[in-house]
Structures are given as structure tokens and as C-alpha cells.
Amino acid sequence: MGFAIDWSGALTGQPRIWLLCGLAVTLAITLVAGAIATVLAVILTALRLSPVAPVRGATRALVSLVRNTPLLIQLMVWYFVGFGLLPMGVKAWMTGDHPWAVLPGNVSVCAPEFAASAWGVGLFIGVFLSEELRAGLNAVAPGQREAAASQGLGAWDTLTAILLPQALRNAYQPVVGQYLNLMKLTSITCSIGLAEITYQARHIESFNSHAFEAFAAGTLLYLALGLVLERILTTGRQA
């Protein structure tokens, strides 16, 4: 294997377009999966606090399943099994033509690859986020819940308006870490054919064998995305 570095192999012409398309898809999947993870984390945290024991037990079982199996296998299950379980009409709609939903590189956000990736990564990180929030909740003074109840707030309002904001402040660093993790884990979605950065870097490697340049470009893109995301999330805290 020769080792002359030639950046034009990854940064000009078609390979550059592929990498930029991959970047757009990575950004989109990170945003959508991040939103799903956030919503699921709040729901899972609420279910873990439910007064009904079987609800708590079922939530614990789900958390344990997600934490103790590889994300890759979970993606395979959502993609090969979950998609197949959807009603015919939904499947037909997802695989149909939706010009408004097409990202650069001809990736549709309605397609099964994108949907399974967003849901799979979102659920995976949602579970880990809910664990961080639970740890943060443990550090909230018990009087807070009693005070909220005595003000007449219901269980859901107490959780979302009083307890979770404080839990989030206690667990801010680990929560930011989970969102950064989510961005990195979207790289695994290339296994079910989502054309994000990792997929495109491999594409360039098989197209012109410029492995070093393609992977260096991909690595730098992830590093830059991580720095930007961390900056945004840490500024959000001060606001």
C-alpha cells in the first residue's frame, strides 16, 4: 500500500459532494434522533416514577434490554423486524416519493433506513438520558416534590415544571455527554444503509482507494461536529 497523501482524492469532485451529502444526513439524523431521545427520556423518567408497580417493572425491563444489547443489533431489529410490522399503508407511504423529504444525496427522511435509524438511536440514547435524569432526580431535595404537591400541582406538572429542571441542572455534564454520544453513534447507522458521513467515507474508499484521506476527512467532520454541539449545549446552560 503506497502512502502518498493526495487530498484531491477526497476533497474534490464527486467525493467532495458525497462527503457534504453525508454531513447533511448526519446533521439531520442527529437532530431527529436527538428530539426523539429527549421526548422518550422524559416519558421513561415519568414511567419510572409511576405509582403502578407493573408500569415501573415494565419500564425497568425495557431500560435493561436497551442497555444490555448492542445498538447495532437494535438497529437490525427495527429495520428488518419493526418496519415489517407496520401496517401496509404506512409502509407504502414511507417508501413512496416525497420530494419535500429528500435530503442531499437522495436520502429521504421518510425512508425505512432513516426512520429505523432515528428511532433506534433515539430510543438507545433516550434510555441512557433517562438514567442520567434519574441520578439527577435523586439529588433533588424531597421537600421540592411535597412543596409542589401542596401548591396543587399534579404529578406530571410537578415532574416537568419542578423536578426535571433541577435534575437537569444536577446532571448537566453527563446529559451533554449523552447528546455527544448520540452524534457519534449515528455512525453505526451506515450498517443499515443510511448514507451519512461514515457510509460516504467507505464509499470514497471503495471508489478510488483514498482510504487515508476519506477517513481523515470523516474524522475531522465528527470532531468539528462534536466541538460545535458541545459549544451549543454548554451555552444553552448559561442562557
Partner 1 sequence: MGLDFTVIWKNWDYFLWGRTFQGEVGGLLLTVLMALAAGCLALALGIAMALAARLGPRPLRLLLTFLADLVRSIPLIFVIFWIYFLVPALFRTPIPGALSVILALAWFSSGAVMYATLAGIEALPRGLREAGLASGLTEGQVFFAILLPQALRNLVPSYVALFASMIKDTSLAFILNVPELTMTASQVNTRAQIYPAEIFLFTAAVYYVLCAGLSWAARGLAHRLRPGRAAA
CB 146 within 8 A of CB 225: no
Near partner 1 by CB under 8 A, which window of 48-56, 96-104, 109-117, 218-226? Answer: 218-226
Q: How far apart are the C-alpha atoms of 216 and 18, rounded to whole Å? A: 15
Give the phi and the psi of residue 83 in degrees, each rounded to 5. -60, -40
Least separation in angstroms between residue 43's CB and partner 1 is 22
Among 52, 54, 68, 100, binds partner 1 (CB under 8 A): 68
Which of 48, 72, 11 has the alpha carbon at shortest distance from 220? 11
Which of 18, 192, 170 has the alpha carbon at shortest distance from 112? 192
Residue 15 sits at the vertex; the CA angle it makes with 24 and 25, to the nearest 5 degrees, is: 15
Closer CB to partner 1, residue 73 or residue 147? 73
Is 229 a binder of partner 1 (CB under 8 A)? no
DSSP state of 19: H
Closer CB to partner 1, residue 60 or residue 98? 60
Least separation in angstroms between residue 81's CB and partner 1 is 4
CB 201 within 8 A of CB 187: no
3-state DSSP call for residue 108?
strand
Is 76 a binder of partner 1 (CB under 8 A)? yes
H/E run at residue 103:
strand 102-103
Is 180 a binder of partner 1 (CB under 8 A)? yes
Is 55 a binder of partner 1 (CB under 8 A)? no
Is 7 a binder of partner 1 (CB under 8 A)? no
Among 1, 52, 53, 239, binds partner 1 (CB under 8 A): 1
**212 Cβ neighbours under 8 A, 6+ residues apart:** 3, 5
Among 80, 96, 146, 228, binds partner 1 (CB under 8 A): 80
Site residues (vs partner 1, CB under 8 A): 1, 3, 64-65, 67-74, 76-77, 80-81, 84-85, 180, 184-185, 187-188, 190-191, 198, 201-202, 211-212, 215, 218-219, 222-223, 226
